[in-house]
Structure 1
Amino acid sequence: MDSSQFWLIVSIALYMVVMLGIGVWTSRKIHDTHDYILAGKRLGWWLSIGTIFATWFGAETCMGSSRTAYEKGILGVIADPFGAALCLILAGLFFAKFFHDKNYKTLVDYFDQRFGRWAAGLLSVLYIPVYVGWVGAQLLAFGIILNSVTGIEPMTAIIISTAVVIVYTYMGGMWAVSVTDLVQMLILIAGFLVLFPILYFEVGGFGSLRAQLPPEMFHFWPHQGSTLDWLMYLQAWMLVGLGSLPGQDLFQRLMSPRSAHVAKWSSVIAGVLYVVIGLFPVLMGMMGRIALPTVGRSESILIDLARAYLPLPLIALMLGALLSAIMSTVSAALLAPASIIGHNIIPFFYPRISESAKLQWCKSGIWIIGVISFFVAIYFQNVYTLCTQSWGILLVGVAAPLIFGVFWKKTNTAGALAGAVAGTVSWIVLALALSDDYPTHLFGFAISCVTLVVVTLLTSFFPRSHSSQAEIG
């Protein structure tokens, strides 16, 4: 180990200590599940914007999109950052006020009121694999970063990151996540603002970049594409753009601000900020094809660029930026399913469970999801693919019941359940039968929507067991 690696490891250790300190400090604010899941609905502008932005700006946006842009250009990263930014803006404009005015703690609470206990139970189960995959992708990226910069074995790095994030999320819940998210957002932006100008001048500006790369690297939509190409393009927008709308992590961030107004515009502002800052790793990945044309491991292209062009103190800053992006996402992705486990799944089987027991199950859920995700991280090697596949589950199974449930009064329990099951099953069958060149997520979502509408209309003449108290209109 040389001196530079030693000081980078020291910097990382100090960073981890600070994050743990925030967890200890915020744990004093936790008295019940309302505090643990929603931070007592007391978040102001800065914490609200910071936690929405930092939660989503994770490994797939930094490591995954830079790698994909390095290989495929802009058309390869439509899902993230562009689709993700679209989702945040849509959530703010059309869902934030509606949900914030309710007393829900999880999105499953909405499904329970709208479609009944059994429908909510089924939909809640779909959330677990989504977040296990998302956390696994972040841990994989963490291992890649530390191994590239410090020489620490990826397995050791994954164990360290898993332990630290589990501990501070376990202790402080949404309060810890929100405060650390704000700190991590600022570090992330600072890191990109340091590296990007250096690379910009290194490659000679955008004009030189366009001249040295193939024209298709800059295409924002399919040029002379087939019908299948356009369907794949539409799927890329919808995968996160609509598929993440039912995300429990996003729901918590719409519910936690102190008012519906703050929730609405925090999400919109975070969405705009997301696409602006999200272009940095995309463009830096493309610049990497010129600055480091012989790089052998494009998953770590941002780290390779930082090591090639920055002095040690700024490498530490860039490393902190990437770790911030990952840790903020991991903490949110742990808290979201843990909240559902403690607040919805366990009470489903034990309806008389006490509030204190719910809180303990929420905390235990952090460890459960963290450990499972650790093993997922060991077996997967592509950050971007693991993330997008995880979010695809919500698109095919949960998006239609949410969207139709909110905006179409006639949607009933039978339709919602049929849509969720049909979308999920059809996607699994199509994914097994067809190659990755086909938009199986898009097909699954379409089947989910059609099934929901048809079954709702066919069963509408039967008495409805649940009134439409929880829809707009």
Structure 2
Amino acid sequence: MNLKNPSIWRPMLGLFGLFILIALYLVLSDTQDIFWPGFLAMAFFYALVFLLGAYAASLRKDEGINGMMLADRSVPLWLAIFTMSATWVGGGYINGTAEYTASSGLVWVQAPWGYALSLIIGGLFFARKMRRYRFRTMLDPLEQRFGKRIAGLLFLPALSGEIFWTAAILTALGTTFGTVLGLDTTTSIILSALIAIAYTALGGLWAVAITDLLQMIILFGGLFLVLPFALNTVGGWSKIWGDYQESFGAAASLLPSREALGSYYWNWWDFALLLMFGGIPWQVYFQRVLSSKDERIAQRLSIMAGLVCLLAAVPPIVIGVIGQQADWVAMGLNPPPDAATTLPWVIRYLTNPWIATIGLGAIAAAVMSSVDSSILSASSMLSWNVYRPLIRPNLSEFQLKKVIQRSIWIIGIAALLLALQVKSVYELWFLCSDFVYCLLFPALVCSLFDPKANAPGVLAGFLVAFVLRFGGGDATLGIPIILPYPMVEDGVVLFPYRTLAMVSGLISIVVVSRLTQQYRPAKPLVIADND
């Protein structure tokens, strides 16, 4: 590494200065319960990740826009598996899994296996075709088939999904940061967001991929190291698992049943399908697929990353069970203030200080792996599929890179503001796939697999899905129920209206496209000449 390079040491000094300011704030605050070993571990891991990312970026000094967005389509299989897995297994994944294990029972811990299956399905049916046509973003086939304006419209659910995903990660990072430092969640989220956004703006996909490798090693090592110590504190797995089954009954199983779910049975299946198929139309996913060396690697990395994601869900599930069954009062400890803090709370208070330092520091560094990926992906779509074709078609590669870097700050701050409003990691985690499942997935499927799909059909499908989806309201965003759906309980629609919206949108595209084929013939997909 060239330490004389200002592009490395100037931002590094800024990061160091930020941690000095945080430390001074903590020292001067009389009411904070400061956990200094955890703070120092976090500072160390942040610095390590930053230096590795800066080093990776310095190796690609002359990269063009393909280098910035797709790492010159040269990511090898082993590294692609790590960066794909790290993208999904971030703060929302581990914190959210522990949160719902502790609060709602295993039957509602759907996101880990749902997203893992989405990677496998994406690998089997989508990855090879997307890589074969050499697209740069997920919106490219939509732009080819349906035009720039339709692609710009479909960018909105894609952007909202990435912002919700980033907000979930920032919320998880903030709760972890808060547990480590003793700060309130709001302050922790703001500090975490500033560090994450600043780091993401420095490098392209190569820097992200290399840091993902380190972060996955840290994540797996830290979580699996914590488990035996935490289990020993609460009397072992057999004891707490038996107590957990007694507490939750049928809900302690991953498999759905009428006994466990009651009136929420069809609602459970609605969310299950949402996660499996709503986890596919993501730029953060296709950015890895499109950066692969060839079609075969694109398919294999998706399937193998899905298996890694399933393995990564084991420690947070165990930690969620521990957090729910631990007798905190008998141990002289305060219980977690809410379910969202279960994971960092167990790691800090049910292990010895050294293990807690490693575990909390590792998580704080590891959850960054999803922040940089998500913000970079959304910024790539905003710059390449919206700003370039609709506003400045003659934008140079240098100018486009600058637009991407500025977009990172805009999107990162938007996610920060949302994270401050919604405190549940799991609610945001579901919400981020909700809109892309209902509004974007049908259009993506038709762009790749229906040769007669056209712009009027996609527009009709979008409007139908939009009305049916938002007609069911949304408690997280404060949207009231508008349409007279059946099965409404406590102000929540239990009828699977999300899947109804997706299927209705898909059928509308197919039908309207054929009815308007004479007036608006469908455009074929062509291989992009941009490698």
Q: Normalising by structure 2, report the TM-score.
A: 0.83
State the Cα distance separating 1:72 from its structure 2 match: 1.4
The structure whose Rg is larger is 2
The one-letter amino acid of 2:70's match is L
State the Cα distance separating 1:140 from its structure 2 match: 1.6
Alignment of 1:282-301 (within 5 A): 282-292=317-327, 295=335, 296-301=337-342
The one-letter amino acid of 1:436's match is V
**Deviations 1:175-221 (Å, cap 9, x if unpaired)?**
11111111111111111211223344544334761355332232333
State the Cα distance separating 1:463 from its structure 2 match: 4.7
Alignment of 1:340-419 (within 5 A): 340-347=381-388, 348-419=390-461
What SS is found at the alignment partner of 2:258?
Answer: coil
The one-letter amino acid of 1:215's match is G
Q: Name the residue aligned to 2:363.
A: 322
Quick check: 1:427 aligned with 2:427? Answer: no
For 1:197, which of 210, 225, 228 is the aligned residue?
Answer: 228
Does the C-alpha gap of structure 1 residues 167 and 455 become closer, same or farther in structure 2, counting only changes over 3 Å? Answer: same
What SS is found at the alignment partner of 2:472?
Answer: helix
The one-letter amino acid of 1:428's match is F
Unaligned runs of 5+ in 1: none
Does the C-alpha gap of structure 1 residues 42 and 467 become closer, same or farther in structure 2, counting only changes over 3 Å? Answer: closer
Q: Name the residue aligned to 2:294.
A: 259
Distance 2:47 2:136 in 1: 30
State the Cα distance separating 1:106 from its structure 2 match: 0.7
Distance 1:5 1:280 in 2: 23
Distance 1:154 1:3 in 2: 13
Q: Name the residue aligned to 2:256.
A: 222
The one-letter amino acid of 1:319's match is L
Distance 2:327 2:141 in 1: 49
**Deviations 1:11-38 (Å, cap 9, x if unpaired)?**
2112222222223223321522111111
For 1:146, which of 157, 165, 177 is the aligned residue?
Answer: 177
Q: Name the one with the larger helix percent.
A: 1
Distance 1:346 1:5 in 2: 45
Contact 2:74–2:293 (CA under 8 A) maintained in structure 1: yes
Does the C-alpha gap of structure 1 residues 152 and 199 become closer, same or farther in structure 2, counting only changes over 3 Å? Answer: closer
Identity of aligned residues (%): 26
For 2:511, which of 447, 450, 454 is the aligned residue?
Answer: 454
Contact 1:62–1:325 (CA under 8 A) maintained in structure 2: no
**Deviations 1:239-276 (Å, cap 9, x if unpaired)?**
22111211000010111122222221111111011112
Contact 2:108–2:254 (CA under 8 A) maintained in structure 1: no
State the Cα distance separating 1:95 from its structure 2 match: 1.4
Does the C-alpha gap of structure 1 residues 293 and 447 become closer, same or farther in structure 2, counting only changes over 3 Å? Answer: farther
Q: Name the residue aligned to 2:100.
A: 68
Contact 2:87–2:373 (CA under 8 A) maintained in structure 1: yes
Q: Name the residue aligned to 2:353.
A: 312
Contact 1:83–1:237 (CA under 8 A) maintained in structure 2: yes
Q: Name the residue aligned to 2:20.
A: none
State the Cα distance separating 1:453 from its structure 2 match: 2.4
Deviation larger for 433-442 or 56-65: 433-442
**Deviations 1:46-85 (Å, cap 9, x if unpaired)?**
320111111111222211121111111111111x101100
Q: Name the residue aligned to 1:36.
A: 68
Does the C-alpha gap of structure 1 residues 320 and 7 become closer, same or farther in structure 2, counting only changes over 3 Å? Answer: closer
Quick check: 1:14 aligned with 2:44? Answer: yes
Q: Name the residue aligned to 2:79.
A: 47
What SS is found at the alignment partner of 2:471?
Answer: helix
State the Cα distance separating 1:167 from its structure 2 match: 2.4
Q: Name the residue aligned to 1:444.
A: 501
The one-letter amino acid of 1:71's match is S
Does the C-alpha gap of structure 1 residues 293 and 404 become closer, same or farther in structure 2, counting only changes over 3 Å? Answer: farther
Distance 1:151 1:99 in 2: 46
Does the C-alpha gap of structure 1 residues 390 and 319 become closer, same or farther in structure 2, counting only changes over 3 Å? Answer: same
Distance 2:467 2:366 in 1: 33
Distance 2:374 2:468 in 1: 26
The one-letter amino acid of 2:403's match is W
Distance 1:343 1:362 in 2: 9
State the Cα distance separating 1:461 from its structure 2 match: 4.1
The one-letter amino acid of 2:155's match is S
State the Cα distance separating 1:4 from its structure 2 match: 7.4
Contact 1:38–1:252 (CA under 8 A) maintained in structure 2: yes
State the Cα distance separating 1:371 from its structure 2 match: 1.4
Distance 1:6 1:198 in 2: 21
Q: Name the residue aligned to 1:159.
A: 190
Alignment of 1:205-284 (within 5 A): 205-206=237-238, 209-210=241-242, 212-213=244-245, 214-224=248-258, 229-284=264-319
Deviation larger for 413-422 or 155-164: 155-164
Distance 1:304 1:227 in 2: 31
State the Cα distance separating 1:405 from its structure 2 match: 2.4
State the Cα distance separating 1:377 from its structure 2 match: 1.4
What is the number of equivalent residue pairs in this alignment? 469
Distance 1:242 1:469 in 2: 25
The one-letter amino acid of 1:456's match is S
Alignment of 1:103-182 (within 5 A): 103-182=134-213
Distance 2:273 2:143 in 1: 25
Distance 2:422 2:525 in 1: 42
Contact 2:87–2:369 (CA under 8 A) maintained in structure 1: yes
State the Cα distance separating 1:105 from its structure 2 match: 1.0
Contact 1:81–1:279 (CA under 8 A) maintained in structure 2: no
The Cα RMSD (Å) is 2.2
Distance 1:149 1:163 in 2: 17
The one-letter amino acid of 2:79's match is L
**Deviations 1:119-152 (Å, cap 9, x if unpaired)?**
1111112222222222112112222112122213
